[in-house]
Chain A
């Protein structure tokens, strides 16, 4: 007796559907922004992330430092009404992310003619991923530049606004970079564009406010801003320390 014809073998279509179902179930789940950062820093190393870009960041930070020095020398709130300090404070909050945007722009300007930028689009971590991974790290660098400017300003003019300046510096760059990472993680490149546009709209909206309101906004919520910026900074530092503790060689990979 031949039972071969009785065995119900799956058709090619049924096999394909079964494979697709298995693949779907084992597809990597969507990860949150912080987990994405953690996985990426651990996998490719902080040294790899910063490779080929520290010089460009240094140039952007220097340009920003010159700009902010010029802006600070224009204002002397000792002789002007206090509320006119608001623009200075706003520069630290809204202006600091410009360093990140400038770094991004210069990096793409250099990399695109080389052809590496496009080629990296086919890698697990594309050039866009690298730019985002650099943002929190460059935010720390930008905060350091701003802090130096703020301390210089306060050294000359008095330390009345030093706490607000520190809080605004830290929160401005950290919020922008983490928001950028979160939006990119969820929406891809569109998220980055939305983030930049939103930030500019926020700055323009702020500039439209009456001067008294601007002053109130920049100085009226110092505690909340400090807490937010402190939490963001602490989270990033904890992340980096954790990576270093777990896999120290990844910190200096490719160094």
Chain B
């Protein structure tokens, strides 16, 4: 279980997050809010790229800061901007990343092959990534996030650049992962969350506004679908972003 307790974060004078309290257990959680609400900051704190100014993040009761590498071994992360080496093939890149995550070399190559097949890149494992499209790079990133068989999988805008078929394939992967792992999906694409998330977390005014099932949110905001609920909650904020 991943617990976020009274976590706050500010950058200079700007408060990004204030007293965030969340608990994640097995399942798919959608992180939905307009740009600049603090989703990526929250995610970066969970994956230890940032440290909270106050509060703590606990994994099975233990502060993740004290667990260090043994916690990061359990985390799979696909950032908003996925970094890669252009001259590497996906197989080369993934086996390198597997090594950095402490995955045994005896299983790494086989696991990389299976993951690449799972994301539909089984035929191009030896091709250099500089020749890949944006969607293909994103799929390498998804495979990378699953490399070390993580207990917590975090995707930040994972479906950007994916065509509808790839998006459906990705949703299947997420649904399967959600049965045994904690999956946190941060996205602006409401339909991605609507179809697979067990719970939705919404951040408003730097605090957690809602953390509930989609049905409960729709009922509370008298909406037929999540997009309408989103507009009802964020109103002008979301429209300004859209414009």
Contacts and interface: CB of A to CB of B under 8 A. Distances in A.
14 contacts: A24-B61, A44-B99, A44-B100, A48-B96, A111-B83, A114-B85, A118-B79, A119-B82, A122-B77, A123-B100, A125-B102, A130-B100, A250-B105, A253-B105
Interface string B61-102: 110001101101101010101111100000010011101111
A118 B83 contact: yes
B62 A24 contact: yes
A206 interface: no
A119 B69 CA distance: 14
A3 interface: no
A4 interface: no
B184 to A, nearest CB: 13
A19 B49 CA distance: 26
A2 B81 CA distance: 60
A19 B105 contact: no
Contact of B49 (A48, A52, A122): A122
A23 B47 CA distance: 20
Interface residues of B, number: 30
Contacts of B85: 52, 114, 116
B99 A45 contact: yes
Interface string A129-160: 11000000000000000000000000000000
Nearest to B75: A122
Interface of A: 16-17, 19-20, 23-24, 27-28, 43-45, 48, 51-52, 111, 114-126, 129-130, 249-250, 253-254
Contact of A115 (B62, B67, B83, B99): B83
Contacts of A123: 72, 97, 100-101
A-B complex: 4 closest residue pairs judged by Cβ atoms? A115-B83, A20-B61, A116-B83, A122-B47
Given A19-B61, A48-B100, A114 B69 contact: no
Contact of B60 (A19, A115, A118, A253): A19
Contacts of A116: 83-85
B60 A254 contact: no
B48 interface: yes
Given A16-B61, A114-B84, A45 B100 contact: no
Contacts of A120: 100
A254 B99 contact: yes
A23 B100 contact: no
B49 A118 contact: yes
A248 to B, nearest CB: 12
Nearest to B71: A124
Contacts of B82: 115, 119
A113 to B, nearest CB: 9
A123 B144 CA distance: 11
Contacts of A126: 72
B61 A23 contact: yes
B77 A119 contact: yes
A254 B66 contact: no
B105 A254 contact: yes
A114 B84 CA distance: 6
A124 B96 contact: no
A17 B60 CA distance: 10
A117 B49 CA distance: 11
Nearest to A45: B99
B105 A23 contact: no
